[in-house]
Homo-oligomer: A and B are copies of this chain.
Amino acid sequence: MLHSASAQSAKIAATFHALGDPTRRVIVEKLCEQPQSASLLAAPLGITVAAVVQHLAILEQSGLIRSEKIGRIRTCRLEPSGLKTLEDWVSQRRTLWERRLDKLGEVLDEE
């Protein structure tokens, strides 16, 4: 399955933007351990639930988390494919960099 380059870069942009904020990173780290409600996430963060909900929206848009509302409780959980997007980007950059070194090696060998 192929994605357009722009779709991929849009997703990566959203992901990095989401994880660029320390509070959102803490949320993601908590959700790695177990799913939690919005108010449960807010408590240790020292910010209002309203603020947390705003963070959750950004995280959800980026695909890093998923949330489901049952009754009056919204339960959030990690979406592992979001981490995969990140992993792919990093390994792609790494590959590019290594390929460059390989080429450089070839040139040096020829001389």
Quick one: copies of this chain in the complex? 2
Residues in chain B near residue A78, CB distance under 8 A: 93, 97
The interface on chain A, measured as residues whose beta carbon lies within 8 A of the other chain's beta carbons, has a size of 26
Within 8 A of B (CB), among A85-102: 86-87, 90-91, 93-94, 96-97, 100
**A:59-111 near B, CB below 8 Å:** 78, 80, 83, 86-87, 90-91, 93-94, 96-97, 100
A20 touches B16 (CB 8 A): yes
Given contacts A19-B20, A20-B20, 20 further A-B contacts (CB under 8 A): A12-B25, A13-B22, A13-B25, A16-B19, A16-B20, A16-B25, A17-B20, A32-B93, A32-B97, A32-B100, A33-B96, A34-B100, A78-B93, A78-B97, A80-B94, A83-B90, A83-B94, A83-B97, A86-B90, A87-B91
